[in-house]
Amino acid sequence: MLKSIGASERPKSKGKVQVVTVDVGRVRRRSDVLATEEPLELRIKAGHQQRTVAVTMRTPGADFELAAGFLYNEGILKNRDDLLRISYCTEAEQRYNTVNVTLRGDALPDTARLERHFTVTSACGVCGKASLEGLELQVCALPDSDFTVTSEIITALPEKLRQAQGLFDATGGLHAAAVFSKDGELLALREDVGRHNALDKLVGWALLEGLLPLDEHIILLSGRASFELLQKALMAGVPVVCAVSAPSSLAVSVAQNFNMTLLGFLRGERFNIYTGAARVALPEVEAPQQRRGAWTPKGIR
């Protein structure tokens, strides 16, 4: 079993376990490395007020970025200037599984729209999230721009992400989200057992670095593209979102409604464009040649 993490001990992003491996009838004992999954309580403070807004299961590491990104994506933070301090809880003893986010001002913002004190799981994100209609009340569609990216740049992204996934190499059990420049340069990558946590960490990095909105950038997701991931990318102003796997139907709806470019099944030289094809500079499409003697409908030559 993994060693239990004490309240005052900083949790690590990975840990060793003993396993029994069966391979073509051969049985052996060996050590294996697993990605750590630990709870993180997120608290907001202002003046003499304090409130817990979420408990998420995450892979330890970049906890402050995770907190900042989550609060930004939930609309609690509007910009970096809203932040006064981010720290681990030090009440009685150091607790690395509780993060306090101190906001400027003397009163906490209204968090009623979060609807409830909720737990975020590493598997499915925030359950009971606001619908697409609720999202439309918070943000506007991305403006049209001259931002385009070539198919050659797009198809090179997965390998760059893969080469930078250090924790995945060790554990094989993590999601990743990466942000690239319009020229395909990898700017930042974050990993986590939760796909939504990985993107929150990435958005938190951009917020703390003063880079938001990411209106001339590309985000690549190591797995599928879901509604909540498109929502977070939209909040960060990202025009192009690529996913190694499939998008959900609601993710496509978000991209359509908010003028985002969404690509899926990005593998090798192949990808699907679900929305916003105008931002992708594609090679000329060869017209199919007519076979001799082939039948064509009347009026078509």
Catalytic residues: 124
Question: DSSP assignment of 184-229, as one string?
Answer: --EEEEEEESSHHHHHHHHHHHHHHTT----TTEEEEESS-B-HHH
The Cα 180–Cα 126 span in angstroms is 26
The Cα 194–Cα 179 span in angstroms is 17
For residue 232, give the nearest of 212, 209, 210 by alpha carbon: 212
Q: Where are the alpha helices (DSSP H) in the chain?
A: 63-73, 132-138, 151-164, 166-171, 195-208, 227-235, 249-257
Take residue 146 and report the two structure tokens written for it. 């001259």
Q: Are 254 and 230 in contact (CB under 8 A)?
A: yes
- Give the count of beta carbons closer than 10 Å to the beta carbon of residue 135: 18
Q: Where are the alpha helices (DSSP H) in 26-145?
A: 63-73, 132-138
The Cα 71–Cα 236 span in angstroms is 12
Q: Which amino acid is at 87?
A: S
Does the CA dihedral 154-150-225-285 come out positive or negative? negative
